[in-house]
Structure 1
Amino acid sequence: MRIVIVDDHAVVRSGFSMILNYQADMEVVATAADGREAYLMVGKHHPDILLMDLSMPPGESGLIATGKISSDYPETKIIILTMYDDEEYLFHVLKSGASGYVLKNAPDEELLSAIRMVYKGGTYIHPQMATSLVKDYIKKDQGSNENDPYKILSTRETEILPLIAKGYGNKEIAEKLFVSVKTVEAHKAKIMEKLQLKSRPELVEYALRKKLFDF
C-alpha cells in the first residue's frame, strides 16, 4: 500500500512514517505539511491511502483538502488522523469524502487496522465515535420525523407537490393526474397551508430540500 502522510508537525510525520514503513505491506511514498501540498503529492504519487490531519495552520486545512482530493483523485482513499473526537468534525469529513476517522492517541494497531480496512474498500470510524454518531443520528431523525409537516400531506398532495415545483401549470398537472383544474388548485392551496409556504419559490426550495425530485 502506497501511503502519503499529511501533518503540519515534522515530528508527527516522521513518527508515523517509521510505524508504517516497518510494515511489510505498507510504504510511505511522500509527506506533506498542509492541504495544498497534500493535493500536489497525491497528483504526483497517486497513493492508495492518504493520512490527513484536520488542522494545519497557517496552511490549507485537511477538511478543504479532503473535498478537493476525493473529487479529483477518487482512487486515493482518505483517512483523517486527528485529535478531535467530535461528531461534527466526523460528519463533515465523511461528507467531504473521507473513508476513515482515527484519533491520534489511538494505539498503533488501530491505525494499521484502519488503513488495511479502508484499502480493501471499507470505512473505519473509531468505535466510540461511531456509537455516538449512530445514537445522535437516530435521535435527530426521530425528532425531524415527528415535526415534519410533510407527513400530514395526503397521497394526492404528495403527487402534486413535486409537479408544482418542477414548473407544471395547473392544467398540465390536471391532465397528468386525470383530475380537474379546480381539484389541483384546491390541493395546491392545502399544500401551501400545511407546509406554511407563501410562494412558489418557497415551495421549490422545500421540494429540493426534501429531495422530492432531481434535475
Structure 2
Amino acid sequence: MPVTVLLVDDEPLVRAGLRAVLEAQPDIEVVGEAADGAAVIPLVRQLRPDVVAMDVRMPLMDGIEATRAVLRTVDAPPRILVVTTFEDDEFVYEALRAGADGFLLKRARPAEIVHAVRLVAEGESLLFPASVRRLAARYGDGGRAARAPLSEAGLTEREAEVLRLMARGLSNAEIAARLVVGTETVKSHVSAVLAKLGARDRTQAVIAAYESGFVAPG
C-alpha cells in the first residue's frame, strides 16, 4: 500500500511542486489538497491520509492550530509534517510543541522531501538537532515553567541516557551502536521514555527534555 499524503498550503505553486515530487514515487500517493488549516479536519476524516504536509503559516487557521485540532479531535490521527520557509520560525517550534512530528523546509531537495514523508509515515520523528536546539534556546522558556522536572518522571539511568541521545538526533540504530545493545532493546527504552513523559513521539519527548532543563539547548 502506498503512503497517502494530504497537502495543506495556501500557495498553489507550493502544493503543485510537492505533488509533483511525491507522485513521482511509486510508493507515495497524494490523496488531496487544502489551501487552509480550517479545511484539514473534514479532509482528514474523509481521506484518512497517512501523512499531512502542513504549511505553518496560513491566513484563516495556521498549521499550529490545525495540528492541535487534528490531534485533539481525530481518532488515529495522521502523522503531521510541518512545511516552513524558515527553520528558526517561532511558529515551527510551537507546531512541534503542539504535536507535529517534524518539519520540512520548502527549499528542501526532492530527495529530502520524499525521505521526510517516508520517515514520518513509518512512525519516526524528523528532527534536526541543531535546529531544535536553536529553537528551544530562543522560544522554549515560555513552556519551561509548565514542565515538571524530568526527575519526577521516574526515568531509569539507561532511559535518561537514551533520551539525551534522542535529543542529539540519534536514530535507534545509532543509539544501539553507541550503547552496545540491540536495536529492539533501544526501542523498548524509547517506548518507556515516551510513556513516562506522556509524549506522543520522539519529537515531544525531546521538546520536553529541553523545556524542563534536562538537556541544555545551548
Question: Which band: TM-score by shorter chain?
Answer: 0.5 to 0.7
Distance 1:3 1:77 in 2: 10
Q: Quick check: 2:53–2:83 contact (8 Å CA) kept in 1?
A: yes
Shift of 1:75: 2.9
Q: Quick check: 2:36–2:61 contact (8 Å CA) kept in 1?
A: yes
> Which residue identity is paired with 2:46?
K
Distance 1:13 1:87 in 2: 20
For residues 63-97 of structure 1, give each alpha carbon's deviation from its aligned partner in whole angstroms, at most 9, with x where no partner exists. Answer: 11110012223430000001122263333111211
Are 2:70 and 1:69 equivalent residues in the alignment?
Answer: yes
Deviating above 4 A after TM superposition, structure 1's stretches of 4 or more consecutive aligned residues are: none
Identity of aligned residues (%): 31
In terms of fraction of residues, the more helix-rich structure is 1
Q: Which has the higher contact order (CA 8 A, sep 6+)?
A: 2
Q: Quick check: 1:70–1:77 contact (8 Å CA) kept in 2?
A: no
> Which residue identity is paired with 1:64?
E
Are residues 106 and 131 of structure 1, via their aligned partners in 2, closer, same or farther at CA, if it must alter by over 3 Å?
A: farther
Query: RMSD in angstroms over aligned alpha carbons?
Result: 2.6
Secondary structure class of the residue paired with 1:30 = strand
Runs of at least 5 residues in structure 1 that lack an aligned partner in the other structure: 149-209, 211-215
For residues 115-149 of structure 1, give each alpha carbon's deviation from its aligned partner in whole angstroms, at most 9, with x where no partner exists. Answer: 11111111103454135346x39x97xx99xxx9x
Runs of at least 5 residues in structure 2 that lack an aligned partner in the other structure: 150-211, 213-218
Q: Quick check: 1:6–1:53 contact (8 Å CA) kept in 2?
A: yes
Q: Quick check: 2:5–2:28 contact (8 Å CA) kept in 1?
A: yes
Distance 1:86 1:18 in 2: 27
> Which residue identity is paired with 1:71?
R
Distance 1:130 1:55 in 2: 19
- Name the counterpart of 2:28: 26
Q: Quick check: 1:2–1:48 contact (8 Å CA) kept in 2?
A: yes
Structure whose alpha-carbon radius of gyration is higher: 1
Given the two structures, how large is their TM-score scaled by the length of structure 2?
A: 0.58
Secondary structure class of the residue paired with 1:81 = strand
Equivalent in 99, 102, 105 of residue 104 of structure 2: 102
Give the 5 Å matches for 1:153-168: none
> Which residue identity is paired with 2:22?
L
Given the two structures, how large is their TM-score scaled by the length of structure 1?
A: 0.59
Q: Quick check: 1:77–1:118 contact (8 Å CA) kept in 2?
A: yes
Secondary structure class of the residue paired with 1:43 = helix
Secondary structure class of the residue paired with 1:85 = coil
Q: Quick check: 1:70–1:98 contact (8 Å CA) kept in 2?
A: no
Count how many residue pairs are aligned between Structure 1 and Structure 2: 141
Q: Quick check: 1:103–1:126 contact (8 Å CA) kept in 2?
A: no
